[in-house]
Structure 1
Amino acid sequence: MIQRILMGFFLGTLYFTTTDKTSTKTGKLNINAALFFLVCEYTYPSVFGILAYLPSEYALFRREYHDGLYGVSAYYLAKVLALLPIFTIDGFHVILALTIGVLIEQSSTAFGFMLSAISPSFTIAISIAGPLLTIFSLTGGLYANIGQLPGYINWLQYISWFR
């Protein structure tokens, strides 16, 4: 919690005057960088949190699934709804930003579930997650111009929630 507060304070001071300079190229780049950082801040804790959490629950899920208590879709939907944060804040811009944040977290949580489901162990899931998240962030548009991506990796921009 303290880490989040300190990081929020640091980022707030870093981008505090950016809205005054939105008409300049530097201001637009600063806003782009702040939004990209926001996507990263929502993505990484969600993905790695699910990767660390799901293996401990997998044996129970497998047993209950094979006993016919519920299906994969019911389990996934229940987990997603249980992890969904609830916000009550006024102001359209704040609600819009929080909605985008929730969508980013849901995308990264689904990605974490997928990696955890296809990986035979936690170690393999972690070693797959890092490079894939790096590829998605690189093809998200901040580090590389998405119009200039080679054809063989151009398709990645369409499945990356960093974009």
Structure 2
Amino acid sequence: MSIFTKRELNLKKQIPVNLEIEIGNDEDYTNFLIDKFNGISFKGLLKYSDTLENLTISGKIKFELIAIDAKNGGTFPYHDLVEWEENYTFNDKYSDQENLILGDQFELKDLIIEQILLNIPVNLSNNCDTISKVGKNWSLLSEDQFNEQQENRVDERWSKLLDLQEKDKKQK
């Protein structure tokens, strides 16, 4: 069960949750870099405070999905574990400090998927550690090699300044 009501939270105060989520083909929770979800699990705790109408959700989200490579458009399996601790409120008076839940019930599944989508890298790629070697006349340098090259480089502005000084001497 992933739908919780404010009344249920108020009665129990703390609800341990161990949830396996299936995403049906008719449900569209994807973004442009996600082809489909293979599996989502959440293990955590819901804590409710009736004085502030505050809900704290804490736990771990483990997920597997088929991602679309941002570099080449191919698909690849992607999995991750997200540590999640977030505060929500049913009272719009506190909505500037916490996430607002509209109404008297919420679906935990929606909030879990929202957290997954927030934690997907913007440029998700299967070979994000690989340097693309595109272009001409370049080489891969270590930091020391780069610093040495910068020290030995002659600034073109100095040669132009010397040319101007020579022209000025000739005119005098």
Per the normalisation by structure 2, the TM-score is: 0.22
Q: Whose RCO is larger (CA < 8 A, sep 6+)?
A: 1
Structure with a larger share of its residues in strand:
2
Structure with a larger share of its residues in helix:
1
